[in-house]
Amino acid sequence: MTALESIGICIIGGGRAGGIHGRNFASGRVPGARLLAVVEPVAEARQAACEELGIERAHAYYSEALDDADVDAVVVATPTQYHREIVVAAADAGKHILCEKPMAMNAEECDEMIAAVRRADVKLQIGFMRRFDANFVNAKERIDAGDIGNVVLVKSLTHGPTTPKPWMYDIRKSNGPLAEVNSHDIDTLRWFTCSEFEEVYAIGGNYRSPEAREQYPDFYDNVILNARFQNGMQGSISGAQGVRYGYDSRCEILGERGLICVGSLAGNTVVSHTTEGMATPIVQSWKNLFLDAYRAEDEDFVRCIHEDRQPRVGGSDGKAAVMVVNAGNQSIVERCPVRLGT
């Protein structure tokens, strides 16, 4: 792949995350790449994606896209339970891959995906877009510069306003909110501590999804996970779905001699004062908050292919997060701390 060639991109999965990536590549805002096709099994959604993105190639099955010689790379944005199958097939077809989080359902699936991309000598980037967000990157730079001394504790929360999709109720198929909501928090803790999780203790409960309680008694829409890291640092994660008040993503890094805070619930700095009281706009969706990070993530993925270098966040990072999700879910069920294997 030379710098003069434009990489042909196919989006596999036309949902929310797939739509963001698709719009980035279709808009021309990602140099060195062009959107060629989309894969979406639902006919109406497939047609709508083509119209919005201004493309003609649309497939009901991902195998059709992998047979297309013009497709150089794929973005996998399907439900998690399909990631391993699609990523392995894409690697075998010689396509570079940006796989949305969570990487897979368990460590074994991650290992299969990592082995496949190594055999095929293609790139695999995992969609932890907070590593490309300017604010999170700046926080990491301040940590590394020693602004607050050695890190003691990293606290990260993600609260989403919308109720879970019905397929998420089955923890065996979705891995629950720890996977769907908190994968980014897990990766953030690994990134900011420069260490691996050693032990986790998690508690979960279903407070906002009564329709799931009878058929899926193990489902939780609220979770707290506390962690000990191999280097002795501490971590804490809060996750919630269906909170309604807005999209809430914040992180605190407590050091020996200071504190770094990242993120805000406020949509901007405007505050209104009226007879009704004081009010400020609130962030309504992750799709708005991290738009620039998604574009930077897509840009870096394309540069990795052009420059033949490894992605900033790859398969080993995705696997590490999946292992924490699985350990956290085990801890919720067993009501005790769970140590992670090396």
DSSP-derived secondary structure for 194-227: TS-EEEEEEEEE-SS-GGGTTT-TT--SEEEEEE
Position 264 scores a pLDDT of: 80
Give the max Cα distance, the chain.
66
| Pairwise CA distance, residues 181 & 200, whole Å | 17
Sign of the alpha-carbon dihedral angle for 141, 29, 17, 303: negative
Domains in the chain: ranges and CATH: 7-130+292-314 (3.40.50.720), 133-290+321-339 (3.30.360.10)
Question: pTM for the complete prediction?
Answer: 0.93
Query: What pLDDT is attached to residue 265?
Result: 76
| Cβ 197 vs Cβ 175: under 8 Å | no
Structure-token pair, residue 148: 């607050």
Question: Is the CA virtual torsion 295, 299, 300, 304 positive or negative?
Answer: positive
How confident is the model at residue 294, as a pLDDT? Answer: 95
Respond yes or no on whether the N-terminal peptide bond of residue 164 is cis (omega within 30° of 0). no
Residue carrying structure tokens 């699985």: 326
Q: pLDDT tens string for the chain (342 positions)? A: 444 579 999 999 988 899 999 999 999 999 999 999 999 999 999 999 999 999 999 999 999 999 999 999 999 999 999 999 999 999 999 999 999 999 999 999 999 999 999 999 999 999 999 999 999 999 999 999 999 999 999 999 999 999 998 989 999 999 999 999 999 999 999 999 999 999 999 999 999 999 999 999 999 999 999 999 999 999 999 999 999 988 899 999 999 999 999 988 776 655 555 677 766 667 776 556 688 999 999 999 999 999 999 999 999 999 999 999 999 999 999 999 999 975
The pLDDT score that the predictor gives to residue 271 is 57
Confidence at residue 266, expressed as pLDDT on a 0 to 100 scale: 74
pLDDT the model gives residue 272: 55
